[in-house]
Structure 1
Amino acid sequence: MALSLSARLPSCSSSVFEKAHKVTTQPPILPFPSNLAACGCTLLPASMGVARRRRQVVGAVEEQHNQTSVLAQKQSPSYSSSKLVLVIGASGGVGQLVVASLLSRNIKTRLLLRDPSKAISLFGLQDENTLEVREGDTRNQNDLDPTIFDGVTHIICCTGTTAFPSKRWDGDNTPERVDWEGIRNLVLALPPTLERLVLVSSIGVTKYNVLPWSIMNLFGVLKFKKMGEDFVRSSVVPFTIIRAGRLTDGPYTSYDLNTLLKATAGKRRAVILSQGDKLVGEVSRLVVAEACIQALDLECTKRKIYEINSVEGDGPGSVPEKWRELFESAETN
């Protein structure tokens, strides 16, 4: 059943919270060359006011859009009102930015959350015609009721956990359960009418037994990411896989409130796209979120896998034609 964010959510003693995944204090992110340690982390502390939390996420997205010229903004597509994007992993670092960016584009969005109550603290009160929330967990196949996908045209999946044992592994939230079993369950539940599944993965998944990637893969995170990718590729689902470099924008993984409030994309706006798991580097979370949204409608990205980094310089912003050129260039290099 859909939960309207304009409705009153149940109290902590309700069944929603009893079924929800246990929320624990998160450890610092380990500085290894992958995005996996940062996937799915909550960006903002629970004590932060709803309005300020929402301004932080939406403000960062607006900062990315403001870097695009007036002419480029006029070139942005007018998205069809029939589009409904399901975001899985919306409470994570990339997922929050994906949702905020979709809302800024007036694209109807549905979230699949283990704890639906997080939606208000992350995105504020929204009209149910704009943002819907469903309770579910991809790790549990029985949670993926067909009604979750009713009307869904596109899916962006940003689920993930830490590469090394941490409190975030509590409740069986391990790489095997999230990155392999969760993706498998999701693919098996998808309707045949889906137009695109965009999956956020990691660079290095094809080299998990080679240094330095083997260090990151000590507990199997890259191996299970690759298994999830392979299951998607073996299906008939029209997919795009985005393998992100090590995620940057330090404020998004910082627990210092003053730093969080100043979070921007900084100077890392120029985008590098490649294929063949050749890249080694870092990427802004804002850039990853934008790449996911841009890939939704590009025919050239269907059933393709890309690696993405970002470096200092002016990037494509939110201009579709610039992103199309980047994706097409990656295929020819």
Structure 2
Amino acid sequence: MDFSIWPNYTVDFYRFKLLALDVKRLLRAHERTNSATSWLPQYLLLFHFPITTSLEEHAAVFPSASSSSKVVLVVGGTGGVGQLIVASLLNQSIKVRLILRDLMRASALFGKQDDEKLQIWKADTRNPVELDPSMFQGVTHAICCLGTTAFPSRRWGGDNTPERVDWEGVRNLVCALPRSLKRIVLVSSIGVTKSSELPWSIINLFGVLKYKKMGEDFVCKSGLPFTIIRAGRLTDGPYTSYDLNTLLQATAGERRAVLIGQGDKLVGEASRLVIAEACLQALDIDLTEGQIYEITSIPGEGPGSDKEKWEELFKAAHTK
């Protein structure tokens, strides 16, 4: 075996933690199969090391963008922003992969879809051992819309707290994503850098801004191509429990004009539809790579789904 063709990736503490959990699971499988090597390919997949003997085989394991179709992983796809993202992707005939805790919720929301267009995996990002490498095979882009309420509520049931969702869930997801990923877009919140200042300190009483910032920092240091969208206070919807046609017909009311800034200076509200479209646009606009944006929306005509207009808005934010 030619070890020289293996990618030279930095493996951090959390990847080792995931490795230990994965090896434990695989060793149990090994005991059942009594095969000395059956677990080895999965073991190496955690590091995203291809088992190859030639450069040609290496290229087959990590196909280029031109040789593979677009597959967008959406995590948090049944939430207020996530479901709008999924609906738009399906409407564009882009392949979507969802990781969800509740499969029935996705079925009720998106209805029956072609398995080639929509693939749904049951897993909990709070539990890294559930994030099997097979879930991520072929994924080219990812959008993470994980989130919970800032203050204790029924949504905190089942340990669904900001620490578990916005920090541990994001961290575990990022560790599991393939190193070949072209872009991850993370939805965060304005005010994450000002959690000790009023009024943000009130919002952060239970740590939501702190844990969102920790998730942001982990994404930034992951080595993956990223874009972070810090949303203003979300308005419009959420459109939970509506069918796909209803989602596609949703509008942002009068708040269609978009404001984009950097440096955590913007304040205000943001339409869920605007944030969903911003995430979709950021996947393919090169200049958004490695950038963090704050986005709000105000009354007026906006860019809609016009890529050129969105690119101009993102570019203008760099010069403010």
Task: Report the TM-score, using the length of structure 2 for normalisation.
Answer: 0.75
2:132 paired residue among 127, 136, 145: 145
Whole-angstrom distance in 1 between the partners of 2:271 and 2:122: 29
1:220 aligns with 2:217: no
Query: What's the counterpart of residue 182 of structure 2?
Result: 195
1:113 paired residue among 76, 100, 118: 100
Deviation at 1:264, TM superposition (A): 2.9
Q: In the TM superposition, what whole-angstrom CA distance separates every residue of 1:205-232 from its partner, at most 9, and x where no partner exists?
A: 0000100000000000000000110111
Larger Cα Rg: Structure 1 or Structure 2? 2
2:172 paired residue among 156, 174, 185: 185
1:123 paired residue among 103, 110, 118: 110
Where structure 2 has 5 or more consecutive residues not aligned to the other structure, the ranges are: 1-65
Aligned pairs for 1:1-333 (under 5 A) are: 82-250=69-237, 252=239, 264-333=251-320
For the 8 Å contact 1:162–1:175, the answer to whether it is kept is yes
- What secondary structure sits across from 2:134 in the alignment? helix
For the 8 Å contact 2:109–2:241, the answer to whether it is kept is no
Deviation at 1:190, TM superposition (A): 1.3
Instruction: Tell me which amino acid in the other structure corresponds to 2:317.
Output: A
Deviation at 1:118, TM superposition (A): 1.5
Q: In the TM superposition, what whole-angstrom CA distance separates every residue of 1:151-171 from its partner, at most 9, and x where no partner exists?
A: 000000001001001111111
Q: In the TM superposition, what whole-angstrom CA distance separates every residue of 1:165-215 from its partner, at most 9, and x where no partner exists?
A: 111111111000000111111111111110000000000000001000000
Greater share of helix? 2
Instruction: Tell me which amino acid in the other structure corresponds to 1:113.
Output: L
- What secondary structure sits across from 2:168 in the alignment? helix
For the 8 Å contact 1:140–1:185, the answer to whether it is kept is yes
1:298 and 1:80, CA in 2 relative to 1: closer, same or farther beyond 3 A? Answer: farther
Instruction: Tell me which amino acid in the other structure corresponds to 1:86.
Output: L
Where structure 1 has 5 or more consecutive residues not aligned to the other structure, the ranges are: 1-78
Determine what percentage of the aligned residue pairs are the same residue. Answer: 70
- Larger relative contact order (CA 8 Å, sep ≥ 6): 1
Whole-angstrom distance in 1 between the partners of 2:120 and 2:241: 27
The total of aligned residue pairs comes to 252
For the 8 Å contact 2:81–2:238, the answer to whether it is kept is no
Whole-angstrom distance in 2 between the partners of 1:146 and 1:278: 38
- What secondary structure sits across from 1:236 in the alignment? coil
For the 8 Å contact 2:270–2:296, the answer to whether it is kept is yes
Whole-angstrom distance in 1 between the partners of 2:253 and 2:201: 31
- What secondary structure sits across from 2:265 in the alignment? coil
